[in-house]
A and B are shown apart, each in its own frame.
Chain A
């Protein structure tokens, strides 16, 4: 069975500190990888995605994630977080040729403190 594991349910961090949110997946077929962010009382928003090509992908607000096939990981990083980054972050996979069905991890709550 395919699954996505987010190793940390909560990550508290101080403003301007670096952060890493961990994600591992298990799949016997090729996957596409995504990070979604969910702000309080809002819907999920796509943060970044890996489909193919360069294993390092970046978002417009300073987040980046690196696809590591050997470790089946897709960790999310940011070198310096802001208060406004406080949100729930979800890692997700789509199985190749499976109609776009996203399989989500349990989520990591990032709490940025001043």
Chain B
């Protein structure tokens, strides 16, 4: 079946602009995660949803970052007033249950100029 789909694949934003990154998880997957991967680094946890409930947002770096999953399926990560340090690949992952292995999308590469 289809894997985790993320769009856009690449996004260039000028500093100060707002961006919205979309994630379509595997159908039926309950858990959804967002990660941030800076160049040359391992992915860093941002936030976690179980269905539509955001159970953990401890990794969001500032109040400029906001994530939602209103119907328990598609999720959107929004970054307001982007800064250069927000440049990274943003990875979405889903799993069937909380303890199942994660399936990752190909990520959205955000470049803030």
Chain A interface (Cβ < 8 Å from any Cβ of B): 4, 6, 32, 34, 36, 41-46, 49, 90, 92, 94, 99-107
Contact = CB atoms under 8 A, between A and B. Distances in A.
Contacts of B50: 99
Contacts of B31: 99-100
B91 A104 contact: no
B100 A44 contact: no
A107 B106 CA distance: 17
Contact of A101 (B33, B40, B103): B33
A106 B101 contact: no
In the A-B complex, the 3 residue pairs with the closest CB atoms: A104-B42, A44-B104, A43-B106
B43 A104 contact: yes
Contacts of A49: 101
Contacts of A92: 42
Interface in B88-104: 91, 93, 95, 97-104
A66 B104 CA distance: 24
Contacts of B55: 99
Given A90-B42, A107-B42, A102 B106 contact: no
Given A99-B56, A100-B99, A43 B43 contact: no
